[in-house]
Chain A
């Protein structure tokens, strides 16, 4: 029996080998659009993910500027309130599901096989499919602006009963989220299988690069919670059209229940958007401090603890719905507990920099900027976690400031850091360091000009998701709008720098950065189309 299995394996291999040669031939043949449509190469797919998310980042950014333009001064200037609500909702949905999540999957596609010494992702065809689900989903989202009643205006959290009363734009958003969720789940399964089964000989779990570790944990989170979101929006859909009453009070349902189901997905989701960022920063800081990462194993355990804790804190988003005191206390303490592993990570990064020979090229600037500004967002998170304070600042601009500090300054800055760090590896050219530094300084200054005043607005009581506001909030809002336009325009510098880097520039060496470590730096820049077909030996 064992013998015949082995035979089958060998036979399978011979067949594979033949297929592979055929694949090589097939890769050479299609050109133009068909090459990208049919590609199963992890580098091509990673590139497409990154371009897709950059496109959606600009789409979501334009919506954000629409929001800020209306809030430039009190009164209604540009939009009807209904359209303003569509702007805030779609900005959130597009940035979360269209920009940040696919961007991290793009990083994973490029880097996970290179960092673990695998020839490609485990399921190359499924990989192609999970990418090509994204453009139709994004199209559905954007098209929903043009259906009667416009796009969904229920907020990115899709709370009932708003969602059960919206027009057809809501249905389009639900379908888009179903597709995006399916894409995420397929991508995650692919990443888990690749990491578990395709590591080079000698690479034990505890020798894996931190980015691979954080993505392994993130992928498990995604597989656990994306189906719950799919369930929640499916229930919304049947409530809307098929007479069920999950969230409809009249039929015995409960809108608050939607919030529980949604945040059971939603809180792990925020860690899905930050853990890979932690992974990227854990590569950049050691490279430019020229020291190994401090406390590698504690980093792994801290990441796992954050992921596990993320499942038992969801109701801290709902302190004002009327929970018993025991429930409030439980969720408050559990939330505060997350500060411990997060603190471990922050201190480890600081300790990595401690007495290192640091230089501040653009990736390091973004990584240090991330560390500083993300920690501010972490602290405001702790403040929001304290229930008595949260009752005051719930649904104010303080919360808006908090989550933009962790998502923009956290996830986005870490991705910029990673993009500059690996761009020379991906393109084979060094990017323009001067432009990169301009991009960093403009981004971090305008980011703070935009979002720092929102703390004060929130503490003074300005509610979020409103197109008009009391005149007392005028000055800070004007400042925030100026910052937002500055921040938005600064991102064009990034676009230009990336394009310039792709088109040419100083040749990058294989090592690229003096202090960089990992298997990806053993390959040429750019790496060959098929890399690690012979697995490297890891000591």
Chain B
């Protein structure tokens, strides 16, 4: 076995078996590649599940609110300001009240109005945001037009409520909360396919 010629023979005799073995490892690694490609996509629902369980990203669903009638903190008031934006959707969007003063723990309602100024039916989705950001976890929305998509016919006007309660745990340092909504057009959900596509510049 120790002389080079016989080694060469044994080495070459391995050739076919080695080829099969190489192919076997290749296939396994390709399977791993495909699985990891799928894993990238699986991260999306996984991430959403984590956010749901930990309550990290609950802006589009109703907040869980405990018993609310006993916890009103009348010793202080918090100013609520409204900010409305619409982005490349062609809607007029405003809050009917300029602002509110609420006691923490008290159920309140604010009404917003949208008007479709464009010549086609448009589906929009409102995304809420808070200032200061810390206030977000204390501002509990029980009912909100942002929980669903809104479809407006040309010229249609709609008034929509937000029912909310400010958590009494809100830090004392926060005296004013700005609630901001931005309406985006939901792409691919255009209700009248015959109309011109929107100019997206």
Contact = CB atoms under 8 A, between A and B. Distances in A.
A230 interface: yes
A246 B43 contact: no
Interface string B1-13: 0001001100111
A223 B34 CA distance: 10
Given A197-B25, A249-B184, A250-B186, A227 B4 contact: no
Interface residues of A, number: 50
A250 B127 contact: yes
A228 B40 contact: yes
B54 to A, nearest CB: 7
B97 interface: no
A537 B1 CA distance: 11
A322 B137 CA distance: 12
- Interface SS of chain B: helix
Contacts of A322: 133
Interface in A230-255: 230-232, 235, 243, 245-246, 248-252, 254
Contacts of A8: 16
Interface residues of B, number: 44
Given A10-B13, A231-B37, A534 B29 contact: no
B178 to A, nearest CB: 17
Contacts, number: 126
A13 B15 contact: yes
B72 to A, nearest CB: 29
Nearest to A534: B8
B171 interface: no
B198 interface: no
Contacts of A245: 187
A455 B37 CA distance: 37
B26 A189 contact: yes
B39 A252 contact: no
A252 B60 contact: yes
Interface in B49-80: 54, 56-57, 60
Contact of A534 (B7, B21, B38): B7
A225 interface: yes
A251 B186 contact: yes
Contacts of A249: 127, 184
Given A198-B18, A228-B36, A535 B43 contact: no
Interface string B166-201: 000000000000000000111110000000000000
Given A264-B43, A535-B11, A223 B36 contact: yes
Contacts of B26: 122-123, 189, 193
A16 interface: yes
Contacts of A535: 7, 11
B32 interface: yes
B23 to A, nearest CB: 9
A312 to B, nearest CB: 14
A197 B29 contact: no
Nearest to A242: B188
B200 to A, nearest CB: 9
Contacts of B87: 250
A10 B9 CA distance: 11
B51 to A, nearest CB: 8
Interface of A: 8-13, 16-17, 122-123, 185, 188-189, 192-193, 196-198, 201, 223-232, 235, 243, 245-246, 248-252, 254, 257, 260-261, 264-265, 322, 324, 533-535, 537
8 contacts: A9-B14, A16-B16, A123-B26, A227-B33, A231-B41, A324-B54, A533-B8, A534-B11
In the A-B complex, list the 3 residue pairs whose CB atoms are closest, starting with the nearest: A231-B40, A12-B16, A250-B184
